[in-house]
């Protein structure tokens, strides 16, 4: 029994997420000592637009950090470093003299830059900057969001060109404020966050001035790009200055990359998949920068201090957990999300039904915006339980398609998949996932892999942990599902799934 | 005709009054319809409200039937919901105890394992979700038998197999173990099911204070026992975990 985790020292991690900000205090074994969390307002000014109030977010961050300190009953001396992970791509500008945001932050889901991205693509199309940045021109990414703000909010472009404004994703905003804000705050971002702007060269990790100019972003607003794990500065001033003054701020990672890091996917071919509303799967491809031929995104996985960067392939699935929510809220077939498993378990198989939830088109590896959702293979025999089964299977098959694309691009077979997120409590889904991937699916003991990744990176930077081997030693398997489906059955089902996918395409006539 | 409990009769009359359609009534309507003093009616309504059988509209102050009444009869805790709620706490228990964690519910004549967290070492382990354990010899089974009357009646009727030399099988002795479990709020299994293996478990309650499951750890006697007893700090950790899951399910403080 080793419950002596009240003895420090500790690492604190801030997770500035899409719906809330959290702070978790971890001990040396990577165990959670305390958590505090606060939600912030989601602002929807128009259909398709999503904003956050960055000032509210900074207030919340300060509150949850202080809250976690109190809950953990720790003082400044117990905290060796603070790490940061954040919702990716959410974009904001602030006045460097007043420290005030000049507009609400534009959230990653916001689609207002759709048209701008199409215009930027011009004759070349959405892959215009893919070679350099690894990304397609899509509304998620930060660069065009900056341009939108500068061109649509009165006076911003002039102020930006005069050097009065600073751009940041949420990591930059939090680090700048933590390290003193208007009184000498450091204006930095890390390679993983910078790799989501459409403006960073993947090869040399520098801003690409030509692309920035093409998008319409003046270089003066951009932060300095640093590694994911190094001391950017120390906590200074403000309410946290009193509480944690002098504590090093020592990591920043986009949330999905932080999860990759927290899941200790440090070797080439190791992959993690986070099952939430949507699903994000990342595979470590090592020092090799792989340009995807299969519709995946190339991104920076992490960079530790002076080390070479580690690249990753990323595939996202738009609809996974949200399909279960849809079954609950729109269809009323279940009372809680967990009941999907009960309903699905009441039958042996899908009864011939396949559900492709292309609610807003097909994402990786197809990228078809003309697709819409389909339930295929219906007969009189099919019950709601079969549909529930098809709902869960859809998440697994979509993962299989991403995994196949990753194997194709990287040449590396998936040896095992590390999973996290809410849907990992669904035993039936996890077993089916192992079956269709024909690879073990492993759940780690600390579910908070995102915060853990930020804590790990910060702890490495200050020598709390010596190496990634130390971190690996902390990793504990909580459950493992081994494949048990015979190959013929699997291939037959996969064929049916792919047939159902075919039937979603071309529904919207463009 | 035997004498009935007056306040229950009045409560039943109130529910009938509110039943049918989207009926909302104010306190004075209810009181006068049933010929009660307002204070009396209010006391009964507040009790019904506390149980969730009646709800009060915050704006108008009028009363209507509560959602709890609709759930009554069909109410049960989905085991997958139970697993989802227990996930973080059971992970933490495995981590702090260094042993495998099991969450079980009553199913037919035994304990169905609905959640299993591996022992946090690098050894090869197989997920045992879906496996069954006996009621009379395992700590999970004893806890369920002590707190769930249905489990208890199964325990009485079931064939109690002697798995090891230590297995308690005689009804009289089994009943004593159940009483003991109830008085100490947890159960242990010291080589009663498997040689060399011991376990300790505690009850998980829902918001109605009904025992909906049991959670515990299982491990080698050499690790989890000291001087022939389950180590006290492990017992405490298991009970903490059970309390945390119960709290998450809305059960009040113990």
* A447/B contact by beta carbon, under 8 A: yes
Interface confidence (ipTM) of the complex: 0.77
| Domain of residue B17, residue span | 6-65
Q: State the smallest CA–CA distance between residue B37 and chain A in angstroms.
A: 40
Q: Say whether both B18 and B89 belong to one domain.
A: no
Taking CA–CA distances from A431, the nearest residue in chain B reads B127
Q: A82-96, B16-30, B53-67, B226-240: which has the minimum mean pLDDT?
A: B16-30
Q: State the smallest CA–CA distance between residue B202 and chain A in angstroms.
A: 18
Q: Is the pLDDT of residue B20 over 70?
A: no
Q: Say if residue A227 is preceded by a cis peptide, omega within 30 of 0.
A: no
> Considering only CB atoms, which chain A residues are within 8 Å of B118?
476-480
Count contacts between A and B (CB, < 8 Å): 75
From CA A328, how far away is CA A322, in angstroms rounded?
A: 10
Q: Say whether both B81 and B29 belong to one domain.
A: no
* A336/B contact by beta carbon, under 8 A: yes
Q: Say whether both B224 and B122 belong to one domain.
A: yes
Q: pTM to 2 decimals?
A: 0.82
Residue B253 belongs to some domain of the structure:
no
Residues of B with CB under 8 A from a CB of A: 78-81, 83-84, 87-88, 91-92, 94-98, 116-118, 120, 122, 125-127, 129, 231, 233-234, 237
Quick one: pLDDT at residue B252?
65
Listed residues B38, B65, B92: the one ending a domain: B65
Cβ neighbours of residue B170 closer than 8 Å, sequence gap 6 or more: none
Q: How much is the average pLDDT of A444-454?
A: 88
Quick one: pLDDT at residue A492?
97
Listed residues B44, B65, B86: the one ending a domain: B65
pLDDT tens for B54-106 read 988 888 888 988 877 766 655 567 888 899 889 989 998 998 899 999 999 99
Residue B120 belongs to some domain of the structure:
yes
Matching residue, tokens 């059955």? A489
Residue B1 belongs to some domain of the structure:
no
Query: What is the pLDDT confidence band of residue B44, given thresholds at 50, 70 and 90?
Result: very high
Q: Say whether both B80 and B191 belong to one domain.
A: yes
pLDDT tens for A130-156 read 999 988 888 889 999 999 999 999 999
Percent of chain A at pLDDT exceeding 70? 99
Average pLDDT value over all residues in chain A = 92
Looking up residue B55, the CATH number of its domain turns out to be 1.10.10.10
Q: How much is the average pLDDT of A316-336?
A: 89
Largest pairwise CA distance in chain B: 71
Q: Say whether both B134 and B229 belong to one domain.
A: yes
Sort A55 into a burial class: Cβ within 10 Å, 0-12 / 13-18 / 19+.
Answer: middle
Can you say whether the dihedral through the CA atoms of A99, A218, A250, A58 is positive or negative? positive
Quick one: pLDDT at residue B73?
57
Quick one: pLDDT at residue A138?
85
Quick one: pLDDT at residue A83?
97
Q: Is the pLDDT of residue A299 over 60?
A: yes
Q: Say whether both B120 and B216 belong to one domain.
A: yes
From CA A206, how far away is CA A222, in angstroms rounded?
A: 11
Q: Is the pLDDT of residue A428 over 50?
A: yes
Please tell me the total count of domains within chain B.
Answer: 2
CB contact under 8 A, A425 and B233: no
Sort B202 into a burial class: Cβ within 10 Å, 0-12 / 13-18 / 19+.
Answer: buried
Q: State the smallest CA–CA distance between residue A10 and chain B in angstroms.
A: 17
Q: Say whether both B141 and B217 belong to one domain.
A: yes
**Nearest CA-CA partner of A197 in A106, A292, A104:** A106
Q: Which residues of B123-156 are buried (b: 16+ CB within 10 A; e: fewer)?
A: eeeebebeeebbbbbbbbbbbbbbbbeebbebbe
Listed residues B65, B100, B116: the one ending a domain: B65
Q: Which of A54-58, B150-154, B248-252 is the most confident on average?
A: A54-58
**Nearest CA-CA partner of A105 in A164, A54, A31:** A54
Residue B254 belongs to some domain of the structure:
no
Matching residue, tokens 């709390």? A464
A7, A275, A478: best mutation site toward chain B, by most B Cβ within 10 Å? A478
Q: Say whether both B48 and B88 belong to one domain.
A: no
Percent of chain A at pLDDT exceeding 90? 71
Looking up residue B231, the CATH number of its domain turns out to be 3.30.450.40
Please name the member of B84, B231, B233 whose beta carbon is closest to the beta carbon of A425: B84
Q: Is the pLDDT of residue A1 over 50?
A: no
Q: Say whether both B54 and B172 belong to one domain.
A: no
Taking CA–CA distances from B99, the nearest residue in chain A reads A1
* A333/B contact by beta carbon, under 8 A: no
């Amino acid at each position: 029994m080793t419950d002596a985790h009240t003895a420090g020292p500790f690492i604190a991690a801030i997770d500035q997420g899409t719906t809330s900000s959290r702070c978790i205090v971890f001990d040396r074994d990577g165990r959670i000592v305390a958590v505090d969390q606060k939600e912030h307002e989601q602002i929807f000014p128009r259909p398709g637009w999503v904003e956050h109030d960055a000032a509210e977010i900074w207030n919340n961050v300060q509150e949850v950090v202080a809250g976690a300190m109190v809950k953990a009953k720790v003082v400044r001396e117990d905290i060796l470093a603070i790490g940061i992970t954040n919702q990716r791509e959410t974009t904001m500008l602030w006045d460097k003299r007043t420290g005030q945001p000049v507009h609400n932050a534009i959230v990653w889901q916001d689609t207002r830059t759709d048209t701008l991205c199409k215009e930027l693509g011009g004759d070349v199309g959405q892959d215009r900057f893919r070679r350099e940045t690894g990304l397609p021109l899509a509304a998620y990414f930060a660069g065009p969001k900056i341009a939108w703000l500068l061109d649509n909010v009165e006076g911003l472009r002039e102020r930006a060109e005069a050097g009065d404004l600073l751009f940041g994703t949420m990591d930059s905003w939090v680090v700048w404020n933590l390290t003193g804000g208007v009184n000498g705050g450091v204006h930095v971002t890390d390679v993983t966050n910078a790799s989501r702007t459409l403006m960073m060269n993947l090869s040399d990790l520098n801003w690409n001035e030509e692309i920035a100019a093409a998008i319409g972003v003046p270089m003066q607003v951009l932060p300095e790009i640093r590694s994911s794990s190094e001391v950017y500065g120390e906590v200074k001033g403000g309410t946290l200055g009193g509480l944690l003054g002098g504590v090093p701020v020592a990591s920043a990672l986009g949330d999905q990359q932080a999860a990759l890091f927290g899941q200790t996917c440090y070797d080439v071919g190791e992959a993690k998949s986070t099952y939430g509303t949507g699903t994000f799967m990342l595979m470590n491809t090592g020092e090799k920068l792989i340009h995807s031929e299969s519709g995946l995104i190339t991104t920076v996985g992490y960079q530790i201090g002076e080390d070479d960067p580690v690249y990753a392939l990323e595939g996202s699935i738009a609809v996974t957990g949200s399909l279960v929510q849809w079954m609950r809220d729109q269809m009323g077939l279940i009372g809680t999300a967990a009941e999907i498993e009960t309903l699905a378990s009441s039958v042996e198989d899908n009864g011939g039904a396949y559900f492709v939830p292309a609610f807003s088109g097909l994402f990786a590896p197809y990228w078809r915006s003309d697709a819409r959702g389909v339930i295929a293979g219906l007969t009189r025999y099919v019950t709601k339980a079969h549909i529930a089964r098809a709902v869960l299977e859809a998440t697994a098959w979509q993962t299989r398609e991403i995994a196949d694309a990753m194997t194709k691009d990287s040449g590396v077979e998936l040896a095992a998949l590390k999973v996290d997120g809410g849907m990992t409590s669904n035993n039936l889904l996890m077993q089916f996932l192992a079956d269709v991937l024909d690879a073990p699916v492993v759940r780690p003991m600390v579910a908070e892999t995102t915060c853990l990744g930020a804590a790990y990176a910060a702890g490495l930077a200050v020598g709390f942990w010596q190496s990634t081997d130390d971190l690996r030693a902390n990793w504990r398997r909580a459950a493992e599902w081994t494949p048990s489906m015979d190959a013929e059955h699997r291939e037959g089902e996969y064929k049916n799934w792919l047939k159902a996918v075919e039937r979603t395409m071309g529904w919207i006539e463009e | 005709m035997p004498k009935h409990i007056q306040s229950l009769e009045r409560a039943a009359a109130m529910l009938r009054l509110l039943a049918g359609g989207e009926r909302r009534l104010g306190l004075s309507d209810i009181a006068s319809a049933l010929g009660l003093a307002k204070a009396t009616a209010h006391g009964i309504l507040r009790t019904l409200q506390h149980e969730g059988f009646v709800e009060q509209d915050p704006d108008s102050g009028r009363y209507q039937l509560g959602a709890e009444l609709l759930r009554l009869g069909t109410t049960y805790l989905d085991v997958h919901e139970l697993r989802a709620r227990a996930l973080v706490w059971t992970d933490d228990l495995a981590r702090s105890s260094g042993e495998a964690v099991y969450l079980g519910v009553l199913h037919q004549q035994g304990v169905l394992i609905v959640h299993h967290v591996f022992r946090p070492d690098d050894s090869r382990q197989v997920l045992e979700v879906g496996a069954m354990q006996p009621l009379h010899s395992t700590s999970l089974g004893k806890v369920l038998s002590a707190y769930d009357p249905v489990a208890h009646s199964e325990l009485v009727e079931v064939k109690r197999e002697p798995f090891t030399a230590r297995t308690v099988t005689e009804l009289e002795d089994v009943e004593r173990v159940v009483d003991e479990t109830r008085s100490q709020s947890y159960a242990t299994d010291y080589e009663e099911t498997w040689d060399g293996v011991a376990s300790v478990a505690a009850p998980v309650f829902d918001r109605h204070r009904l025992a909906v499951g049991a959670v515990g750890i299982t491990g080698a006697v050499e690790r989890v026992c000291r001087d022939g007893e389950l180590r006290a700090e492990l017992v405490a950790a298991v009970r903490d975990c059970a309390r945390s899951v119960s709290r998450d399910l809305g059960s009040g403080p113990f």
